[in-house]
Structure 1
Amino acid sequence: MHASNSTFSNMFEFRREDPWTAQVYLLTSPWPVICICSAYLLFVYRIGPRFMQNRKPYNLKNVILIYNICQMIYNATMFLLIFYYIFIVNVYDKSCMETLKLDSPIKSVERWISYAFFINKIFDLLDTIFFVLRKSYKQITVLHVYHHAMMVFCMYWVIRMYGVGGQYSTMGLCNSLVHFTMYFYYFVSGLRPEMKASLWWKKYITITQIIQFMIYLVQSIIVLLYNPSCQFPLFMQWQQIFQSTVMIVMFSNFYYKAYVKPKKRTE
Structure 2
Amino acid sequence: MFAQMMDFLNRTPPDPVRLPFTSSHWPVLAILTAYMVLIKVVGPMFMKNRKAYDLREAIKAYNIVQIVYNIIMFVSIAYFMLGPGNYNFKCISNLPLDHEYKTWERWVSYTYFFNKLMDLLETFFFVLRKKDRQITFLHVFHHVYMVYICFLYMYYYGYGGHGLFLINFNVVVHIMMYAYYYQSSLGQDRQANLWWKKYITVVQLVQFVIVLSHCIYILQQPDCTTSRLSATWGSYVSVVFIVLFTNFYVRAYILPKKKNVKAAR
Query: For 2:24, which of 26, 29, 38 is the aligned residue?
Result: 29
Q: Which residue of 2 aligns with 1:103?
A: 98
Question: Aligned-pair RMSD on alpha carbons?
Answer: 1.8
Deviations 1:183-234 (A, max 9, x none): 0111111023332233100000011111111111111101111x22112222
- 1:9/1:66 Cα in 2 relative to 1: closer, same or farther (>3 Å)? closer
What residue in structure 1 maps to residue 15 of structure 2? 18
User: Does residue 261 in structure 1 map to residue 251 in structure 2?
Assistant: no
Q: In 2 relative to 1, CA 63–37 (structure 1 residues): closer, same or farther, beyond 3 Å?
A: same
Deviation at 1:50, TM superposition (A): 1.1
TM-score by length of 2: 0.93
TM-score, normalised by the number of residues in structure 1 = 0.92
Task: Pick which of 204-213 and 185-194 moved more.
Answer: 185-194
What is the match of residue 234 of structure 2?
240
**Please, which runs of 5 or more residues in structure 1 have no aligned partner?**
none
Q: For 1:85 and 1:158, how far apart are their aligned partners in 2? A: 19
**Comparing both chains, which one has the higher relative contact order based on Cα–Cα distances under 8 Å and sequence gaps of 6 or more?**
1
Evaluate the alpha carbon distance shift between residue 235 and residue 200 of structure 1 in structure 2; reply closer, same or farther with a 3 A threshold. Answer: same
Secondary structure of 1:191's counterpart equals coil
Q: Which amino acid aligns with 1:264?
A: K
Name the amino acid aligned to 2:14. E
- Equivalent pairs: percent with the same residue? 42
Pairing of 1:187-266 with structure 2 (within 5 A): 187-225=182-220, 227-266=221-260
Residue 16 of structure 1, CA deviation:
4.3
Matches within 5 A, 1:1-267: 12-13=7-8, 16-21=13-18, 24-89=19-84, 91-225=86-220, 227-267=221-261
Q: 1:221 and 1:10 mapped to 2: Cα distance?
A: 18
User: How many residue pairs are counted as aligned between the two chains?
Assistant: 258
Conserved? CA contact 1:15–1:162, under 8 Å: no
Runs of 4+ aligned structure 1 residues displaced above 6 Å come to none
**Gaps (5+ residues) in structure 2?**
none
**Shift of residue 172, structure 1, vs aligned partner:** 2.4
